[in-house]
A and B are shown apart, each in its own frame.
Chain A
Amino acid sequence: MTAAGDFPASQDAAPAAAPRRRLLEQDWRKLLRASAILAIAQVFIGLSGMPVSFDRRLLIDPILSLGYLSLLWLPLAVSYWVGREQVLEGMTAYARGGRDVLAGAITGAVGNAGLTLLVVGITHFDIRDPLVNWSPQLLGILEFEESVWLGALIWPAIGAGVGALGGGMHWASSRITRTTVIVLLSVFGTAVLESVITDLSQGFHIEAVSDWLYGPKRGLTYPAAIVVAAAAAAIAGGIAAYRAFLARTASTSGQLGIAASGETSANRVRWRRIPVRRLVGFALSAAAIVVLPLFLGRLTNELLANVGLFILLALGLNIIVGLAGILDLGYVAFFAVGGYSVAVLTSPGSPRFDLEIPWFGALFAAMLLAGLAGLLIGAPVIRMRGDYLAIVTLGFGEIIRVLLLSDWLSGTFNGAQGITNIPGVEVFGLATVRGFEPRSVLYLVLVFCAIAVYVSWRLENSRIGRAWMAIREDESVAEAMGVDTVSAKLMAFVTGAVLGSFSGAILSAKVGSVFPHSFAIIVSIVILVVVIFGGMGSIAGVIAGAAVLIGVLGGPNQPGLLQEFAEYKILIYGALLVWMMLQRSEGLIPSVRRARELHLDEMNQDAWLRAQVAADDAGGGGGGDRSEGEQP
Chain B
Amino acid sequence: MPMLEITGLHVVFGGLHAINDLDFAVEKGEIVAVIGPNGAGKTTFFNAISGMVKPTEGQIAFEGRSLLGLDPNKITSRGIARTFQNVRLFANMTVLENVMVSQHCRTRQRILDALLQTRRFRTEEEQVRARGKEVLGFFGTRLTGYRFDQPASVLSYANRRRLEIARAMATSPKLILLDEPVAGMNPVESAELTQLIGKLRDEMGYTIVLIEHDMSVVRDISDRVVVLDHGEAIARGTYAEVSANPQVIEAYLGQSADGS
Contact = CB atoms under 8 A, between A and B. Distances in A.
Q: Do A and B bind each other?
A: yes
A446 interface: no
B111 A597 contact: no
B88 A462 contact: no
B149 A482 contact: no
B43 interface: no
Interface stretch (B17-25, B28-36, B101-109): B101-109
Chain B interface main SS type: helix
Interface string B114-158: 110100011011001100000000001110011011110111101
Counting contact residues on chain B (CB < 8 A from A), the size range is 35 or more
Contact of A476 (B52, B102, B149, B154): B52
Interface stretch (B71-79, B216-224, B226-234, B240-248): B71-79
B197 to A, nearest CB: 18
**Most chain B beta-carbon contacts within 10 A, residue among A470, A480, A627:** A480
Given A470-B101, A482-B104, A593 B93 contact: yes
The CB with the most chain A CB atoms within 10 A, among B103, B142, B146, is that of: B146
Contacts of B77: 482
A466 B97 contact: yes
Contact of B151 (A596, A607, A608, A626): A596
Interface stretch (A60-68, A165-173, A483-491): A483-491
A607 B146 contact: yes
Contact of A483 (B101, B114, B151, B156): B101
Interface of B: 50-52, 71-73, 76-77, 81-82, 84, 88, 90-93, 97, 100-107, 109, 111, 113-115, 117, 121-122, 124-125, 128-129, 140-142, 145-146, 148-151, 153-156, 158-159, 167-168, 171, 188-189
B109 A459 contact: no
Contact of A481 (B51, B92, B101): B101
10 contacts: A266-B145, A266-B146, A266-B148, A271-B122, A455-B115, A469-B93, A470-B101, A484-B105, A630-B159, A632-B154
Contacts of A464: 111, 114
A532 interface: no
Contacts of B115: 454-455, 458-459
Contacts of A476: 52, 72
B259 to A, nearest CB: 26
B118 to A, nearest CB: 11
Given A458-B115, A483-B104, A626-B141, A477 B188 contact: no
A481 B73 CA distance: 6
B88 A477 contact: yes
Nearest to B122: A271
A567 interface: no
A487 to B, nearest CB: 9
A462 B121 contact: yes
A473 B52 CA distance: 17
Nearest to B167: A481
A629 interface: yes
A503 interface: no
Q: Which 8 A-B pairs have the closest CB atoms?
A: A482-B105, A608-B146, A462-B114, A482-B76, A632-B156, A473-B90, A466-B101, A481-B102
A594 interface: yes
A466 B114 contact: no
Contact of B171 (A481, A484, A630): A481
A601 B150 contact: yes
A419 interface: no
A147 interface: no
A153 interface: no
Contact of A625 (B122, B125, B140): B140
Contacts of B107: 463
A605 B95 CA distance: 14
